[in-house]
Amino acid sequence: MKEPFFVLVRPQMGENIGAAARAMLNFGLASMRLVDPRDGWPNQRAVAMASGAAGRVLDNAVVHPTTAEAVADCTHVYATTARSRDLTKRVLTPEAAMAEAADRIAKGEKVAVLFGPERAGLENDDIALANTIVSVPVNPEFASLNLGQCVLLTAYEWRRHTVEAEPARMEFAGTEPASAVEVQKLGDHYEERLDEVGFFFPETKAAGMKRTLRNMWSRLDLTRADVQLLHGMLRQILRRRDAVERDDGQP
């Protein structure tokens, strides 16, 4: 098992169990355990909410009568809770907890994360079974995360610490970055045509204006498609202008 067990402790509404399965699977997690679900198991409302691939998370979920039994084989247990609980225990952010959980699992440990029932959250007897508390750093003046949101954020942090996501990439839709020579030729094209219409005026400022324009083209990170578009735009404007001038009877 290369992932933590997400243990829903005494969950009440089937819909929320289904939503938790979806939230888990969104971030690649599929190992759910259930402690004494209020409406029994299996639960059709859970299945209806999960639907599709997340339904298989429910199919594979194992039900235990008590929290102690649900975590019996785990070497480290995290308990998610918002409030301070009158228990002396280490408290981690979801980020730190999932980074640590990934390390533990890589070393062969079995890890569980406890999530409490919708209304009241985990009881102190559940938390006393955990090694570490996980607390989402919410706005202290408005802390209203529900079960599904707590599962979502924890699963998100799991994936963030196990699957390398590129923090930044460039999406190229059927094109690629323009080369320097392409950008240079684009600059030549605009400079020549603008020179012809007297854009670089007065003469004393022409060199600076040209440099500003060249600098803009380089700065814009143009694609080949952009360069073609900008060439075409300029050509078409000039063609249209020439046509209008001919209509006006000018030479």
Question: Left if phi > 0, otherwise alpha if psi is -120 to 50, otherwise beta: which for 221?
Answer: left
Q: Which two tokens stand for residue 95?
A: 């980020």
Cα–Cα dist 99/104, whole Å: 9
Give the x/- contact pattern for a second copy in 138-157, rule: CB under 8 A. Answer: xx-xxxxx---x--xx--x-
Distance, C-alpha 174 to centroid of its chain: 24
Min separation Cβ 151 and a second copy, Å: 11
For residue 82, the 8-state DSSP code is S
Measuring CA to CA, how many Å separate 210 from each of 75, 187, 190, 197, 203?
68, 9, 10, 14, 11
Q: Is 38 in the site for a second copy (CB under 8 A)?
A: no
Query: Which CB sits closer to a second copy, 28 or 232?
Result: 28
Tell me if 238 sits within 8 A of 193, measured CB to CB. Answer: yes
Residues 6 or more apart whose CB falls under 8 angstroms from that of 72 comprise: none
Name which position in 64, 160, 210, 231 contacts a second copy (CB under 8 A): 160
- Give the count of beta carbons closer than 10 Å to the beta carbon of residue 171: 4
Task: Based on the shown chain and the rule CB under 8 A, indicate whether residue 180 belongs to the binding site for a second copy.
Answer: no
Give the binding range for a second copy (CB under 8 A) out of 21-29, 110-118, 186-194, 210-218: 21-29
With CB under 8 A as the contact rule, the residue among 5, 6, 27, 217 that binds a second copy is 27
Instruction: Please report whether residue 108 would count as binding a second copy according to CB under 8 A.
Output: no
96 contacts a second copy (rule: CB under 8 A) = yes
Which long-range contacts link 193-202 to residues 24+ away (Cβ below 8 Å)?
A: 193/234, 193/238
Q: Does 165 bind a second copy (CB under 8 A)?
A: yes
CB contact at 8 A, 227 and 180? no
Helix (H) or strand (E) segment spanning residue 110:
none
Q: 40, 65, 108, 167: which one contacts a second copy (CB under 8 A)?
A: 167
The verdict on 119 binding a second copy (CB under 8 A) reads: no
- If one asks whether residue 161 binds a second copy (CB under 8 A), the answer comes out as no
Burial code (b: 16+ CB inside 10 Å, e: under 16) for 116-134 equals bbbeebbeeebbebbebbb
Give me the least distance between CB of 58 and a second copy, in Å please.
13
Residue whose CB is less far from a second copy, 105 or 133: 133
Q: Does 47 bind a second copy (CB under 8 A)?
A: no
Q: Nearer to a second copy by C-beta: 36 or 148?
A: 148
Query: CB-wise, 10 or 18, nearer to a second copy?
Result: 18
Contacts to a second copy by CB under 8 A: 22-23, 25-28, 52-54, 84-93, 95-96, 133, 136-139, 141-145, 149, 152-153, 156, 159-160, 163, 165-175, 223, 225-226
